Amino acid sequence: MYVFLTHGAYDGLLHHATDELKNAFNAGRPTDDVANYLEPWSKLLESRGYPPAEARDTILTVLPDILHYDRDRPAHYPNGRVVTDDVYDMRMAFLTHGRVTSDGVGPHGDYLPEFPFLGVPNPQAAGEDVAEGALLTS
């Protein structure tokens, strides 16, 4: 059995899709992505300011749904990913044709120099309770 993980950019593309389309995409195979999603996703980017040819070329940078990695180039999205890549900002620029380039949230400053790389969890704020994986506020 294969488990496919998606690029971050797809969250924004699928956000506007029906549940049926989201489920079909998540259950699909990357070999079918261009045939199934090039046209509708190109149209979505056109609706966000991309000229038609540029929309098509841009979608082809994320279809098929695989994360490319070239060992001869530095690892940073879209050539692989490192934990410090601000993929959300990249997604916003991608989905808005560069009109929005930042969510205004800066990078973490607490990364560790070795595995597991992520810093210690943020302290729990007063009045918050974490139960069964969900954050509840009183």
Indicate the average pLDDT of the chain: 79
pLDDT in tens, 17-40: 678 877 888 888 889 999 998 998
Q: Are 62 and 9 within 8 A, CB to CB?
A: yes
pLDDT score for 2: 38
| Domain span holding position 86 | 9-108
Could you tell me if residue 42 is inside a domain?
yes
pLDDT score for 73: 94
Could you tell me if residue 137 is inside a domain?
no
Could you tell me if residue 13 is inside a domain?
yes
* Number of domains into which the chain is organized: 1
31 vs 6, higher pLDDT: 31
Could you tell me if residue 38 is inside a domain?
yes
124 vs 7, higher pLDDT: 124
Q: What proportions of the chain, in percent to the nearest 5, are helix, strand and coil?
A: 35, 5, 55
Q: How confident is the model at residue 49 (pLDDT cuts 50, 70, 90)?
A: very high
**pTM for this predicted structure:** 0.65
Smallest CA-to-CA distance from 24 within 40, 8, 9 is with 40
Could you tell me if residue 19 is inside a domain?
yes
